[in-house]
Structure 1
Amino acid sequence: QGRMNHSTVTEFVVMGLSGQPELQGIFFIIFFFIYLVALLGNVIIVIAIIYNTTLHSPMYLFLLALGVVDVICTSTIIPKMLENMLVLDKTISYEGCMSQLFFFTWSLGAEMVLFTVMAYDRYVAICFPLRYSTIMNRNMCMALLCTVMAIAIANSWVHTGLILRLTFCGPNTINHFFCEIPPLLALSCSPVRTNEVMVFAADIALAMGDFILTCISYGFIIAAILRIRTTEGKRKAFSTCSSHLLVVSLYYSPVIYTYIRPASTYNFERDKVVAALYTLVTPTLNPLVYSFRNKEIQGGIKKVLCYNQIFFKKE
């Protein structure tokens, strides 16, 4: 009853990465550049894969999905973050905050499961090359992508739904650069135990579970690589695997760290830096690590650029 007497929060104030005004200009330039690289990199890859029939294979289909997820992830967070760096009124409406939470949580879940699916695809390709086209057929690819979407949507609905049940009646300042679960739980006037339990369960099942499955897949891949007789073949395969594992580790480690703890242990100044790794850095690195080093993707991008040049000359 006491909680009902408080006024309900209709908007939140987002503190951002730093409360120091003199740093806002520098941060704006840095994160505008990061957003531009992430957006252009992922959009170019998506267009290249769509318009090149030679890239219509399972591996590139999953890369296309990863590119779309990364665009949604960065576009959910960075534009509002950049806007808040330029204005004095650094607010986001309650509805806007919940929308940002939903789409970010969706992209977080989708990316984690996609990394596992992509690792499985590489496992089948390297360990069972003769049976690859039979195992990774069209139906299998669609089933895997539907599974990714279903898990991501279910994960997002559960966490957003549980946040919507909470009462926000006191302080409305989010000590973060976007609406994420941990800082919102810290602001709630109502008990957050159920939220914490579900976040912990999702972290164990999705983050740790997917990370372990991804590592197992790469373990089998490395074992298969060691059987390659040529030194050049081994070097090329190890180079690809190591870069993939580096990006995966950069993504999973901070996610596991952020979501496995109770609300009382959050340190938001440190957590902002950690969150930047999986919200900003990884979506920017994904095109560079997974695609731009790939000769077939490079060829696909060149075809798209050549087609556009011809089209504009005709115009």
Structure 2
Amino acid sequence: MENNQTEEVKVLIIGSGPAGYTAAIYLSRANLAPVLYEGIEPGGQLTTTTEVENFPGFPEGVDGPQLMANMRQQAERLGADLRSGSITKVDLSERPFRVEIDGEKEILAQSLIVSTGATAKYLGLPSETKFRGQGVSACATCDGFFYRKKDVAVVGGGDTACEEATYLASLCRKVYMIVRKPFLRASKAMQERVFRTENIEVLFEYNTAEVLGDEQGVTGARLVKTDGSERTIDIAGFFLAIGHHPNTELFAGQLELDEEGYIRVEGNTSKTSVEGVFAAGDVKDPHYRQAITAAGSGCIAALDCERFLLR
């Protein structure tokens, strides 16, 4: 790559959800002139939700895209260099780390914060895409509140699906669990909790053929059983709990990842298997996946990174 296309920076942040923006806020205040690349989805998963009611400091709730715009503005005001563009290649074999932007420009970074997030897995139905944010959701703790005393469905049969179903059962009138297999994959304790909850009905051996709705949003779902028979359920909310996929393809073989592809970090820190590389947000968190925990881990990564650079 041509030298005139190479730039040197102290800290490069990859990704722009609550984790990336919070890291940029802290590092800017520490005078470390962070450069952040926003990637293909500036603002991350929160830009696909509407109302966020559980982020502290907003008594009336806040619009997801607005919350991200606020964080972005704050980082920019404090001096972060925010850029559009995607990272296409990284070389973490030596410091400074070599990072390629959009296959064209190269950056040499003394340190790196990875906050590329995770992507919820969807079924891939056109109707599901159509009603995303209008009754179709991949986060019960984020959106369940809007379906109080209504009927909803949860897709999935693992621990997450059981957890989301029991959480929704405490708010909603009825919860259908749509399970492909003739059994639940979840742990015994989670299964028992589901079967003990009166307003959860588990529909075994069903697949969703189509999410139904009108201009107001979701109104139902058309299901097909493995024997070919069909059934339609009336619901106002359709929740996916079939897992998340961490956006770590770039780092495979360079950073230590767990079986599911999440970045492994040391204890309660943000330190990865490569010195000078830190991870924050959903890319290292298969458990909590909340905006507030992502923001908190962005702060941790910034402080770890600052200490590393001062040393």
- TM-score when normalising by structure 1: 0.31
Write 1 or 2 for the structure with the bigger share of strand.
Answer: 2
Write 1 or 2 for the structure with the bigger share of helix.
Answer: 1
